[in-house]
Amino acid sequence: MADGRAVVSLSAVHKRYGSGANQVVALDGVDLSFHAGTFTAVMGPSGSGKSTLLQCAAGLDRVDDGQVLLAGADPARMSETARTILRREKIGFIFQQFNLLPSLTARQNVELPLRLAGRPPHREDVDRVLADVSLGDRAEHLPSELSGGQQQRVAIARALVTGPEVLFADEPTGALDSRTSRDVLSLMRRIVAERGQTIVMVTHDPIAASYAGRAVFLADGRIVDQIEDPTAEGVAARMGRLEVPPC
């Protein structure tokens, strides 16, 4: 369902932390676009800049040089309030640790982004998105009454309920066992195929990357390779050449 429109694009993006001798160049001239309806895995060794890329692409962190365009807007040129609204309305996030509110039911967690955006949640919309993640029968359960995979599916429903242009996922299966991970990844792939959702996922796991339509490889803050329709074996082999051998 990819339509060739870039939902997120980074042009010559540089991001540095610290200064002087302690300065770290986290992103070193990144040019990268994420088109509508595509599922991209961002891979690379530890410290290569994956999380920084996600933070900058999502407008959560400022870039030092270059430009990010996110859903047609440049977050660097927006006020803090406008950036908050952009994040609330156009972006969904999924995290390794789910980040659900423990005292709220699955339904109330899913309703939360709508309430924060001042949009009264309609029961049928929330029911539909819970059914989309196969949790129609768990709506009234607390997170503590759900398995890890079910909690991550609530988090996905919560990320989808506002109809975001792009979903950013940071190691979404990092806290799940392999079978549950496969279920969550299959769900993410289905959301892309059926809803035309755009997903950008940071992962260490070649099997997770194989669910994406493209794997992008970072090393020392630079994009060094891309693989279309990646297989777990192909990704693992490419990663093996990027990882620094232990001394």
Ligand X SMILES: Nc1ncnc2c1ncn2[C@@H]1O[C@H](COP(=O)(O)OP(=O)(O)OP(=O)(O)O)[C@@H](O)[C@H]1O
Binding site for ligand X (CB under 6 A): 17-18, 24, 26, 44, 46-52
Encoding tokens for residue 205? Answer: 């796991």
Q: Which is nearer to ligand X, 28 or 89 (CB)?
A: 28
Q: Which is nearer to ligand X, 28 or 183 (CB)?
A: 28
CB of 87 to ligand X, least distance (A): 19
Q: Which is nearer to ligand X, 29 or 47 (CB)?
A: 47
CB of 56 to ligand X, least distance (A): 9
Contact of 239 with 217, CB cutoff 8 Å: yes
CB of 46 to ligand X, least distance (A): 3
The whole-angstrom separation of Cα 42 and Cα 141 is: 33
Q: Which is nearer to ligand X, 132 or 171 (CB)?
A: 171
Contact of 188 with 15, CB cutoff 8 Å: no
Q: Which is nearer to ligand X, 68 or 139 (CB)?
A: 68
CB of 51 to ligand X, least distance (A): 3
CB of 107 to ligand X, least distance (A): 32
Sequence-distant (6+) residues with CB within 8 A of 26 are 15, 16, 17, 49, 52, 221
Q: Which is nearer to ligand X, 45 or 234 (CB)?
A: 45
The whole-angstrom separation of Cα 137 and Cα 2 is: 32
Encoding tokens for residue 101? Answer: 């509110």
Sequence-distant (6+) residues with CB within 8 A of 151 are 98, 100, 143
CB of 114 to ligand X, least distance (A): 30
CB of 178 to ligand X, least distance (A): 19
* Bridge pairing between strands 39-43 and 65-70: unpaired
Q: Which is nearer to ligand X, 129 or 209 (CB)?
A: 209
Nearest to 121 by CA among 131, 133, 132, 109: 109
107-133 as b/e: b if 16+ CB within 10 A: bbbbbbbbeeeeeebeeeebeebbebb
